[in-house]
């Protein structure tokens, strides 16, 4: 990976977008930044660049949402995520690096399909079980997909929506949950050699944009309709995910 002008032309908007998503829209689509980066750098490098930035976003977002989360839901999801992260780390040691590009693309397309099914009434999340066992299962899925592509938001969303959590409580819960999950991921990422000096340098350069993105997201949480934000998100993920899948299969 090289830190070229072309890389930053994609990375800066991607990081701002991730910050806005984490700061104002429940973190569910923040993984779109890794999807975009994977179009211009190897998937492993995209994940490596984004993890420290996501951790910085988590810390920045904690203050405005402090103690507004659903404590029980957060505990269940965090405990469930731990084995999911461990399982994903094991998978990473087995599969070829190119497979991760395919997985990132499929997860992006799956996210769009999931949201469209909800919007059209084909899938009713609110009617799903909301107990601790269900939460632990969704937490495991969140930990696994978060490790693979930083896309733990959708599984967590299914559980939180099934509990009918209010908008701000939902946002605060995703902040604390993924603060913990991203901390879990850091050690295996380092142990598996996913981080490189170049990826860490890129993170340092991009860190101001991560903080700005969170600040913009907190403002957007109050002012921008979720429908507009996610409409743009779906189009971006659909195009980017399809490109990654096509490239991996080709």
pLDDT computed for residue 9 by the predictor: 93
The answer to whether 109 and 237 are in contact (CB under 8 A) is yes
Tell me the pLDDT tens digit for each residue of 98-132.
777 788 778 878 877 877 777 777 766 655 656 78
Integer CA distances (angstroms), 246 to 53, 92, 110, 243, in order: 28, 21, 15, 5
Whole-number pLDDT of residue 129: 58
pLDDT of residue 214: 83
pLDDT at 17 over 70: yes
Residue 96's SS3 state is: coil
Residues contacting 79, CB < 8 A, separation 6+: 136, 139
**DSSP code, position 127:** G
Lowest mean pLDDT among 15-19, 91-95, 125-129, 231-235: 125-129
CA angle 213, 181, 173 (to 5 degrees): 65
> pTM (2 decimals)?
0.79
pLDDT value at residue 184: 93
Q: pLDDT per residue over 132-184, tens digit each?
A: 888 888 899 889 988 988 878 778 877 887 777 777 777 788 888 988 999 99
Q: What are the residue boundaries of the structural domains of the chain, listed by start? A: 5-249
Q: DSSP for 180-197?
A: HHHHHHHHHHHHTT---H
Is the pLDDT confidence value at 62 over 90?
no
């Amino acid at each position: 990976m090289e830190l070229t002008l072309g890389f930053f032309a994609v990375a800066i908007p991607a990081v701002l977008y991730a910050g806005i998503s984490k700061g104002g829209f429940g973190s569910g689509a923040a993984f779109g930044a890794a999807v975009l980066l994977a179009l211009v750098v190897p998937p492993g490098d995209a994940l490596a660049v984004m993890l420290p930035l996501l951790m910085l976003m988590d810390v920045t977002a904690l203050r405005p949402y402090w103690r507004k989360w659903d404590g029980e839901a957060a505990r269940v999801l965090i405990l469930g995520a731990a084995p999911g992260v461990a399982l994903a780390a094991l998978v990473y040691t087995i599969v070829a690096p190119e497979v991760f590009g395919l997985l990132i693309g499929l997860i992006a397309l799956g996210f769009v399909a999931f949201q469209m099914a909800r919007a059209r009434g084909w899938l009713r999340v609110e009617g799903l079980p909301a107990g601790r066992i269900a939460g632990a299962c969704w937490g495991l899925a969140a930990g696994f997909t978060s490790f693979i592509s930083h896309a733990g938001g959708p599984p967590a969303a299914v559980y939180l929506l099934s509990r009918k959590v209010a908008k701000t409580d939902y946002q605060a819960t995703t902040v604390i949950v993924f603060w913990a999950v991203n901390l879990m991921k850091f050690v295996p990422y380092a142990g598996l050699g996913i981080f490189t000096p170049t990826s860490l340098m890129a993170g340092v350069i991009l860190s101001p944009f991560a903080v700005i993105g969170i600040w913009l997201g907190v403002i957007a949480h109050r002012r921008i309709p979720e429908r507009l934000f996610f409409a743009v998100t779906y189009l971006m993920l659909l195009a980017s995910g399809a490109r990654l899948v096509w490239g991996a299969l080709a």
